[in-house]
Chain A
Amino acid sequence: MTNTQPLTEPVVQRPPAAGPAARPKAAWRLMLPTMTPWLATGLALVAGIVLFGVLAPFLVGDPDRIRDVGLTGPSGGLWLGTTQTGQDVFAQLAFATRGSLQIGLIVGVLATVLSAFFGIYGAYLGGVADEAFSLLSNVFLVIPGLPLVIVISGFVPRESRGLWTIAVVLALTSWAASARVLRAQTLSVRNRDYVAAAKLSGERPWRVIAVEILPNLLPVLASQFVFAVIAAVLGEAGLSFLGLGASGSSTLGTMLFYAQNGFALPLGAWWWFAPPGLVIALFGTGLALINFSIDEIVDPKLKNARLHRRRTRLAAKGGAA
């Protein structure tokens, strides 16, 4: 959540070593999240769904093949049953997951690049450029995204509504919140002494940004990227569900669109409309859980609270024994 960013600059304190056996961590290890059950769950969910989306399309049959069985529930041969034209829902799910992941990745990268440009570069330049960039991102932040995307998709004729059109539109409407977060972080880094030293020694702006500033922002960038992917998958699903997605594409949203228009709900065909939403929800949850751990790097207070809890628990256990 972007609104969880601390207002004040977080105070970085190394938690005291848990015991005499604890080895000091290498500096780069501090940039990595600590393994917690929640992080493990998140990684497992995301890895599972990504593997499913990448590999399963090669293993399942043709998702469009029409069988003479009509709408049937899950059975041994067809794990998730069929649609009302007898198409294999499981095979469709595999291809749709791939489609959704693809658009999520493209939009995630595009939106992060846009937000990095407007957030970091603007804040680094300062002055009028910063004011202008910051105004621009604030304006984009308050203009509601999906209605704007719907209006744009409504004007583009169906035949020219390709994958990249949708990706660019989704990216253009979703970078603003991250840009604001990145700007706040950059402002706090920009005025540190080593940045000033790099500037004074005549380093070019892009090098100061890339070498001195960017490493400090990596956790924030990572968490904003993860959010951008979630938002893109959700946004594309909504758009496709309304029948406004990329034409000819197959994503989890288009599956839900066909399920809704094929009267899956009145017919009680839960195996048709439940799995696509569940995949989106689990994928989003997995990414959000990963973000939880990244948040602990951005705001060490959260981590300290967790470590403190663990120490009290261990102490209580040790006292009882």
Chain B
Amino acid sequence: MSYLLRKLGFYAVAFWAALTLNFLIPRLLPGDPVDILLAKLSQRGATVTPETRKAYATLLGGDTGDPMIQQYWTYLTNIARGDLGTSISYFPAPVTEVIAASMPWTLVLVGIATVLAAVLGVVLGAIAGWRPGSWLDSLVPSTTLLAAVPYFWLSLVLVYVLARQLEMFPSQGGYDVVLTPGWNLEFIRSAAYYGFLPALTIVIGSVGGWLLGMRNMMVSTLSEDYVLTARAKGLPARQVMRNYAARNAVLPSIAGFAIALGFVVSGSVVTEQVFSYPGIGSRLLGAVTNNDYALMQGVFLFITLAVLGANLVVDLLYGLIDPRTRARS
């Protein structure tokens, strides 16, 4: 129970830190986001009242006349009410609406690709590490090439070869535009077809890290006494590998999930840009190019929230798998 509380407490602190960063960044950096934003807003035909100015100044910094502490408080209460301001690039839609429309695309894409890459990497790593020196194991260092390839370049190459030259997959977008989004078979099939290349990019780009980590832990685990005992008992090799060695070797990979996910999320933001995928990464970049500061901040908060949530789930699972973490101090 205290493990759960400690984890919840930590993620609450992390989220608070992200909120505070979001509050401080526009205030500490040069530039005058509020004026740029209001100028854009009036171009879009909105009437800029002093109230609008004050609302944006609370979000982005600027001369509200209130002391910093009070601005911070207003900012937090606005966020707690789910008010992240109005997007200019999608005017007059509120930021939360724009995010809600694009979040599922990224969640599904990154979620499926990450799970696939993790499972594939861990299984291959376990097999490679089980027999150090086999032909499979000698190939392991070459997977570093995959880990070092920039995601967006990989997607450029995949688009060039698979979409442009071989014309096997569409090169842009998230679904066939003649279809209306909805939960029917035709649309889901189209989304899967369009999402294949972006997902492939993420899987290829991140599988190497999982494979390498698992392989190294597997090699270390093989010299443990309990593996020797299991072998001496005459257990079948498969069982020793799966239930004795791999089970223990996989723990650091799970513990390292936070780092891996950070890389994947960063990579997928750029990947979405290459594919013009309708996910949250494209929205973030669109917001940056259009000086849509409110949307920018909102997207950052939601990406952070999603990453924190995923890490919390993995941490709780880890506590379940490895009792030692719960027992600590």
Give A50 to B266 CA distance when docked, in angstroms.
Answer: 26
The distance from the CB of A311 to the nearest CB of chain B, in whole angstroms, is: 11
Contacts A4-B217, A7-B251; is A155 near B152 (CB within 8 Å)? no
A77 within 8 A of B: no
A201 within 8 A of B: no
B interface bracket (residues with beta carbon within 8 Å of A): 35 or more
Proximity bits, A268-288, B CB within 8 Å = 1, else 0: 101001101100111111011
SS of B interface (majority): helix
* A146 lies within 8 A of B21 (CB): no
* B284 lies within 8 A of A150 (CB): yes
Give A2 to B213 CA distance when docked, in angstroms.
Answer: 8
* B303 lies within 8 A of A138 (CB): no
A160 within 8 A of B: yes
* A157 lies within 8 A of B132 (CB): no
* B13 lies within 8 A of A135 (CB): yes
* A281 lies within 8 A of B266 (CB): no
* B270 lies within 8 A of A242 (CB): yes
Proximity bits, B1-27, A CB within 8 Å = 1, else 0: 000000000110110011001100110
Give A116 to B159 CA distance when docked, in angstroms.
Answer: 41
Contacts A288-B147, A301-B223; is A156 near B30 (CB within 8 Å)? yes
* B216 lies within 8 A of A155 (CB): no
Q: Name which residue of chain B comes closest to A273, CB basis.
A: B156
The distance from the CB of B228 to the nearest CB of chain A, in whole angstroms, is: 14
* B144 lies within 8 A of A292 (CB): yes
Contact of B14 among A138, A152, A305 (CB under 8 A): A138
Proximity bits, B153-185, A CB within 8 Å = 1, else 0: 110110110001000000100000000000000
Contacts A265-B160, A285-B144, A301-B220; is A143 near B212 (CB within 8 Å)? no
Contact of B307 among A1, A144, A312, A313 (CB under 8 A): A144
A205 within 8 A of B: no
B-side contacts of A308, CB under 8 Å: 132
Give A313 to B133 CA distance when docked, in angstroms.
Answer: 9
B199 within 8 A of A: no
* A3 lies within 8 A of B260 (CB): yes
Give A203 to B209 CA distance when docked, in angstroms.
Answer: 41
* B256 lies within 8 A of A2 (CB): yes
Contacts A143-B14, A242-B273, A301-B219; is A1 near B256 (CB within 8 Å)? yes
A121 within 8 A of B: no
Give A309 to B149 CA distance when docked, in angstroms.
Answer: 30
A-side contacts of B164, CB under 8 Å: 265-266, 268
* Number of residues from A at the complex interface, CB < 8 A: 69
SS of A interface (majority): helix
Contact of A142 among B141, B291, B307 (CB under 8 A): B307
Give A139 to B252 CA distance when docked, in angstroms.
Answer: 19
Contacts A3-B213, A280-B150, A285-B148; is A148 near B21 (CB within 8 Å)? yes
The segment from A17-25, A78-86, A104-112, A230-238 that touches chain B is A230-238
A61 within 8 A of B: no
Q: Name which residue of chain B comes closest to A287, CB basis.
A: B148
* A305 lies within 8 A of B219 (CB): yes
Residue of B10, B213, B270, B311 contacting most chain A CB atoms (<10 Å): B270
**Residues in chain B within 8 A of chain A (CB atoms):** 10-11, 13-14, 17-18, 21-22, 25-26, 29-31, 33, 132-133, 141, 144-145, 147-154, 156-157, 159-160, 164, 171, 209, 212-213, 216-217, 219-220, 222-223, 251-253, 255-256, 258-262, 265-267, 269-270, 273-274, 284-285, 287-289, 291, 293, 296-297, 299-300, 303-304, 307-308, 311
Q: Could you list 11 A-B pairs, sorted by A, with CB under 8 Å?
A: A1-B209, A143-B17, A147-B300, A150-B296, A155-B33, A155-B293, A273-B156, A277-B156, A284-B148, A305-B219, A313-B133
Q: Which 4 A-B pairs have the closest CB atoms?
A: A3-B256, A284-B148, A277-B153, A146-B266
**Residues in chain A within 8 A of chain B (CB atoms):** 1-7, 38, 135, 138-139, 141-148, 150-157, 160, 177, 230, 234-235, 237-238, 241-244, 256, 260, 265-266, 268, 270, 273-274, 276-277, 280-285, 287-289, 292, 295, 299, 301-302, 304-306, 308-309, 312-313
